Amino acid sequence: METYGLEALGIINASAVYRNLTPAQLTEHALRRGEGKLSNTGALVVKTGKYTGRSANDKFIVDTPAVHDEIAWGKVNRPIEKAKFDAIKSKVVAYLQNKEIFIFDGFAGADPKYTQSFRIVNELASQNLFIHQLLRRPTAEQLKDFKIDYTIIAAPGFKCIPEIDGTRSEAAILVDYEEKLVVICGTQYAGEIKKSVFSVMNYVLPKMGVFPMHCSANMGKDGDTAVFFGLSGTGKTTLSADPNRLLIGDDEHGWADDSVFNFEGGCYAKCINLSPEGEPEIYNAIKFGSLVENVVMDDETREFDFDDDSLAVNSRVGYPVEYIPNAELSGMSSSVPKTVIFLTADAYGVLPPISKLDKNQAMYYFVSGFTSKVAGTEIGITEPVPTFSTCFGEPFLPLDPSVYAAMLAEKVEKSGAHVYLVNTGWNGTGKRMKLSYTRAMVTAALTGAIEQGEFVTDPTFGVQVPTAIEGVPSELLIPENTWEDKAAYKASCKKLAESFNENFKKYTHMSAEVVAAGPKAE
């Protein structure tokens, strides 16, 4: 039996080893093993059990002398001793003996100058199908001489014992950057594999002069490129899926000196409340070859109920990017970005719907990674709560935020890109900005039309606000104009500005110029 070098990991007694099977073969194995069921569209549907999302508190980085001074240790990047990691790895390897093993050898990074080779070792055929569709798939010729840069072992059936293993729970996501090995156990949520690849790329690429980004990217017919940063619910996927532009990718990219390139070869989309009218591209991508997680399905008809969140609010589907029409299958742009957009959903109603940022403001708002939780979205939230995720991707950044912020500033300065902050949230009317208006503003930014008009300075946030955009009522562009109660507007401005300032105090490595670029609470 061919083992494809698994012995190097200590797996020497597998009952069977499968490498880079087709989606059809992996689906057959998953069904044979009872891992899931087929939907009426042909997609493989699984339930991930206790863990239906990322388990952020269960992620650890192995603390070794070689990486200790590089890692931004804290509540996100928790250290674990090398001895503890080795002990867990040994137990996981022992657990995998005499089991079927599914290997996917593939790539992250569409630009061959910066591609990293990953070997994913799976206990489950369904998870192997997922990562086969999410990463970049090698040709038969590339597989013949495949050199592994990083290895990820995913064994959801192995449960840690916190008192013995030094973990927080039965689940653990353990990254050893020196050994170039990731061990994931105790959780079947496939997103842990995807985001482990992303975390590795966020560690590796800055050393190669490439800015790694948690963003979507698209490209115009003339090759002009734009990137969209934004946390969940801000419209990143919706606004980057433009029928007049090619989608480079929806989630993870690198900004090199001469291109923007997708890390992945697939998409991982939310399914809750999915409809053919609202998001037809995602809806139609749920077909044979896709892996669906935690979506309620009728056992008889095998039809989905996307509105039922009884299994998970964070229901998901993974599929290859070629399932999306208008996708740039090379995963690369032909130029560096000329437009950078930060998306936010301000529930206070005081951020302008679109504004232009200078270099220091770009670094400030990028590092802040702001959006808001709205009343009713979580138990106990009765008024807007500001939410900050460093660099729009805090859980996946092993290095200090200042490293990524400096790379953003360098790339923007070198390319001459314009940076805009787009608020897809609310204003003084109490209503959320219409999608058609936001699209018009984004289009004006992408075409450069916005630069032809006049700008005024927002007194609290210091950003430059356009006074007119075609297709958008001018009174909506200046937030204060939408408030009848001017005192309430100023109070809301002060409250949000104070939240920004308080949050930014933790970034001790940022320059005084960047700190000064933040909002003024007085």
Do residues 43 and 290 make contact, with C-beta atoms less than 8 angstroms apart? yes
Torsion sign, CA atoms 276, 279, 284, 287: negative
Give me the catalytic one of 214, 253, 411, 418. Answer: 214
Which DSSP state fits 472?
B
Secondary structure class of 280 (helix, strand, coil): helix
Q: Is 418 a catalytic residue?
A: no
Give me the catalytic one of 19, 195, 245, 411. Answer: 195
Q: Looking up tokens 């798939």, which residue turns up?
A: 137
Q: Looking up tokens 């952020």, which residue turns up?
A: 56
User: Distance (Å, rounded) from C-alpha 106 to C-alpha 104?
Assistant: 6
Q: Is 253 a catalytic residue?
A: no
User: Distance (Å, rounded) from C-alpha 114 to C-alpha 263?
Assistant: 10
Q: Is 429 a catalytic residue?
A: no
Output b/e per residue, 472-486; b: 16+ Cβ within 10 A: beeebbbbbebbeee
Q: Is 74 left (phi over 0), alpha (psi -120 to 50) or beta?
A: left
Q: Is 27 a catalytic residue?
A: no
How close are the terminal C-alpha atoms of the chain, in Å? 72
Counting Cβ atoms within 10 Å, is residue 162 exposed (0-12), middle (13-18) or buried (19+)?
Answer: middle
Give me the catalytic one of 22, 90, 232, 467. Answer: 232
Residues in the chain: 522
Give me the catalytic one of 27, 48, 52, 54. Answer: 54
Composition of the chain by helix, strand, coil, percent to 5: 30, 25, 45
Give me the catalytic one of 105, 251, 346, 458. Answer: 251
Q: Is 232 a catalytic residue?
A: yes
Give me the catalytic one of 225, 237, 389, 424. Answer: 237
Q: Is 245 a catalytic residue?
A: no
User: Distance (Å, rounded) from C-alpha 142 to C-alpha 332?
Assistant: 19
Give me the catalytic one of 59, 245, 253, 316. Answer: 316
Torsion sign, CA atoms 210, 108, 175, 149: negative
CB atoms within 10 A of CB 42: 13
Do residues 58 and 166 make contact, with C-beta atoms less than 8 angstroms apart? no
Secondary structure class of 191 (helix, strand, coil): helix
User: Distance (Å, rounded) from C-alpha 347 to C-alpha 350?
Assistant: 8
Give me the catalytic one of 236, 245, 253, 411. Answer: 236
Minimal CA–CA distance to 149: which of 173, 177, 130, 174?
177
Q: Is 41 a catalytic residue?
A: no
Strand (E) positions, 133-223? 150-155, 172-176, 181-185, 211-219
Minimal CA–CA distance to 218: which of 334, 369, 362?
334
Q: Is 54 a catalytic residue?
A: yes
**Bridge partner residues of 423 (DSSP):** 344
Which of the residues are catalytic?
54, 195, 214, 232, 236-237, 251, 316
